[in-house]
A = this chain, B = another copy of it.
Amino acid sequence: MNGIKQPELMVEEDRLLIKKALEVVCGKWRLFILLHLAEKTRRYSELRRLLPDVSEKVLIQELKALVQLGVLEKESFNEVPPRVEYRLSDRGKAVMPLLLQIKEIGRYFL
């Protein structure tokens, strides 16, 4: 309590932190979506074109999940044709340095 970290408490906290972080980064397309939004805000259709191998359904699903996690922000415009934009939230931006490190890790194992 007085500055002493109890091993079990620390391990449990680690666990929650790791679990939550993995929720953000794991998934076939997640990081690629983030990569494409790192540069700038984009509309759904732009992401579709940048990631041609993702199914429409999955892309939307992923975007929705990432918005719910607080990684992305979605802005809808009252326009026709429909216009929706996605951008990294501030928290989402914090994931970018991790992305670089993930790539470095990939180098060791490829």
At the interface, yes or no: A60 with Cβ under 8 Å from chain B? Answer: no
Cβ proximity bits A19-33 to B, threshold 8 Å, 1 near / 0 not: 111111110000110
Do A69 and B21 have beta carbons less than 8 Å apart? no
For A, the interface residue count at a CB cutoff of 8 angstroms equals 34
At the interface, yes or no: A1 with Cβ under 8 Å from chain B? Answer: no
CA A107 to CA B17, docked complex, whole Å: 6
In the assembled complex, 16 residue pairs joining A and B whose CB atoms fall closer than 8 Å, in A order, are A16-B106, A17-B106, A21-B103, A21-B106, A23-B109, A24-B106, A24-B109, A25-B25, A26-B26, A70-B109, A71-B109, A91-B108, A91-B109, A95-B105, A97-B101, A98-B98
